[in-house]
Amino acid sequence: MQLTGSEIVIECLKEQGVDTVFGYPGGAILNVYDALYKHRSEIRHILTSHEQGASHAADGYARATGKVGVCLATSGPGATNLVTGIATAYMDSVPLVAITCNVGVSLLGKDSFQEIDITGITMPITKHNYIVKDVNDLADTIRKAFDIARSGRPGPVLIDIPKDVTAEKAEYIKTEPIMTKKSNVEIKEEDIDLAVSMIEKSEKPFIFVGGGTVISNANQELMQFVNLVDAPVTDSLMGKGAFPGTDERYTGMLGMHGTKASNYGVSECDLLVVIGARFSDRVTGNTAKFAKNAKILQIDIDPAEMNKNVLITAGVVGDIAEVLSKINSKLKQQSHTEWIEKIKDYKQKYPLKYHEAGLTGPFIIEEIYRQTNGEAIITTEVGQHQMWAAQYYKYSEPRTLLTSGGLGTMGYGLGASLGAKVGCPDKTVINIAGDGCFRMNMNEIATAVRHQIPIIEVVINNHVLGMVRQWQNLFYEERYSATVLNDSVDFVKLAEAMGAKGICATSREEFNSAFEEALKANVPVLIDCQIDCDDKVWPMVAPGKAISDVFDEDDMK
């Protein structure tokens, strides 16, 4: 069957089971959008307000559903506007396919109108990328892109298609997608045996869970593993929900804003089992002092992560669910009652706490948790509110906290919430934002209204860039350089101007009723929560310090 390149694009998306794409049209990609129009009953297109919003929405869709997210953009600035979203997905191992179109093949390299070398630009932030100059290669390239995006350690792939290729014809033969194994790496039995031996010799094991466990859908295998090892469990920001935050063995997050129980426990353990985590600097603090009393056993699908940031004792390379299943089949039941009790004492002695009076970030997160019964999908921007959302909402399921962990992208959460709600329409989706972040991509509120996507936007508004101000307060002698947002922007009026419902909350009672109203509204709602500009995220580890040097407000006194 002879089809144009643009028709081949749409047919290949249908082959891959794509039901939703996020994007913004332009001249170079017009042929693809024309073909998409003819298939609008099969593939829903969400027109965002900005291409960056499209990339974040595709990312949020992928994280929430486990499917490959897809975004579309035209050439030049359309393509470059995707870059931050592609980099965000790359850093957090999110399966994404970005399709851009470029000027015609004969115009490439001539500084043509809206021409850009997008494959050159995105080479460092994609698993792979392509420019397709022959229509006969197009279908196979798209199929390869989806396979690469979702296999092994997932990540984004970009396909750039010159406009004339979208108009030329080629033979198209429908192909059923081959669902590749999650990993082609053969798990070595000797590595499994060594891991089992290390665990059985340990007297004070601690389990550290990262985002790879979520990606692998290994939460059931992880629970069995934790039961067998009989160890306390901590997680990274990206690992939230892989192990239930409600479980008595859970000690809270690890690292710069981790709990004292987690930071002290990891510093004192004799075996740290690291599952799908990459030893981010925000987790380890001073790497020379990280878990210095422990042997380290790392389990990861990517061999490049072994010994990259922290020297390990042993590692097992492979898909996490498969590795844990193999270990579980060989591991004898362990018992570490005394060690577990010591960590429980730390939890009781050093609980997370915040000021009891007034409207605060932690109170807002706890109230959201209470009113949603812990069953919502939470997306966040980046900053203090992100840390509060990680600390005070108890995630009991994977894929329920969507946040930019690696790149730290302000403006990520609102677009991601749109993608998550489209992918999981039966779930309540809430984006937790700071006022600085909301300013980055607030235009996507209009997208939520346009497409009737009933997300709830909670802006924790302290009229400053809160996390940067916290550092300025603690480490820069209160020199608040360019972090005070002392203007007259009214977020409620902004939301209403874009067609959403806006509510202002200045007290706990006002927030409680506002959020209750938002849950019932079934329309896009923004709640502007006014909090003090000097509320801080506690506990904290100072830069360059060991995680065992964690301190809080009481220690400051």
Q: Report the C-alpha gap between 471 and 175 in whole angstroms.
A: 54
Q: Which two tokens stand for residue 5?
A: 């390149």
Is the pLDDT at 50 greater than 90? The verdict is: yes
Please report the pLDDT score of residue 296 as a whole number. Answer: 98
pLDDT at 179: 72
**Mean pLDDT of the 280-299 span:** 97
Beta strands in 308-348 (DSSP E): 314-317
User: Residue 38 corresponds to which tokens in the numbers above?
Assistant: 């003819």
For 197-232, b/e burial (b = at least 16 CB within 10 A) is: ebbeebebbbbbbbbbbbbbbbbebbbbbbebbebb
**Virtual torsion, Cα 331, 279, 296, 196, nearest 10 deg:** 10
Q: How far apart are CA 160 and CA 163, in angstroms?
A: 10
pLDDT at 247 over 70: yes
- In the predicted model, what is the mean pLDDT of residues 251-278? 98
Q: What is the pLDDT of residue 367?
A: 98
Mean pLDDT of 281-310: 96
Q: What is the 3-state secondary structure (H, E, C) of 144-165?
A: HHHHHHHCCCCCEEEEEEEHHH
CA–CA gap between residue 476 and residue 262 (Å, rounded) = 28
Quote the pLDDT of residue 177. 86
For residue 359, which phi and psi values (nearest 5 degrees)? -85, 125
What pLDDT was estimated at residue 289?
Answer: 96
Three-class SS of residue 107? helix
Rounded to whole angstroms, the Cα distance separating 541 from 556 reads 12
Q: Which residues are catalytic, by number?
A: 51, 113-114, 163, 467
Of 60, 34, 66, nearest to 48 by C-alpha is 60
Sorted by where each begins, the domain ranges of the chain are 2-171, 189-349, 361-540
State pLDDT tens for residues 65-74: 999 999 999 9
How high is the pLDDT of residue 12?
98
Please state the φ and ψ torsions of residue 499, each to the nearest 5 degrees.
100, 5
Question: Which two structure tokens, joined as six digits, stand for 120?
Answer: 């050159």
Residue 181 has a pLDDT of 67
The DSSP code sequence of 52-69 is: HHHHHHHHHHHHHHSS-E
pLDDT in tens, 152-210: 999 999 999 999 999 999 999 999 887 766 677 799 999 999 999 999 999 999 999 99
Matching residue, tokens 């500009």: 533
As a whole number, the mean pLDDT across the chain is: 97
For residue 452, which of 523, 526, 525 has the smallest C-alpha distance? Answer: 523
What number does CATH give the domain 2-171? 3.40.50.970
pLDDT of residue 100: 98
pTM over 0.85: yes
In eight-state DSSP terms, residue 276 is S
Give 90-127 pLDDT, tens digit per residue: 999 999 999 999 999 999 999 999 999 999 999 999 99
pLDDT tens digits, residue range 476-518? Answer: 999 999 999 988 999 999 999 999 999 999 999 999 999 999 9
Beta carbons of 128 and 86 less than 8 angstroms apart: no
Give the mean pLDDT of 291-306. Answer: 97
Cα–Cα distances (Å) from 330 to 187, 189, 325, 443, 446, in that order, read: 14, 11, 9, 53, 54
If one looks up domain 189-349 in CATH, what number appears? 3.40.50.1220
CA distance 246 to 257: 19
When pLDDT is averaged across residues 548-554 and rounded to a whole number, the result is: 96
The arrangement of secondary structure in 361-540, i.e. its CATH architecture, is 3-Layer(aba) Sandwich (3.40)
Same fold: 189-349 with 361-540? yes
For the chain, the first-to-last Cα distance in angstroms comes to 76
Q: Which two tokens stand for residue 112?
A: 């043509």
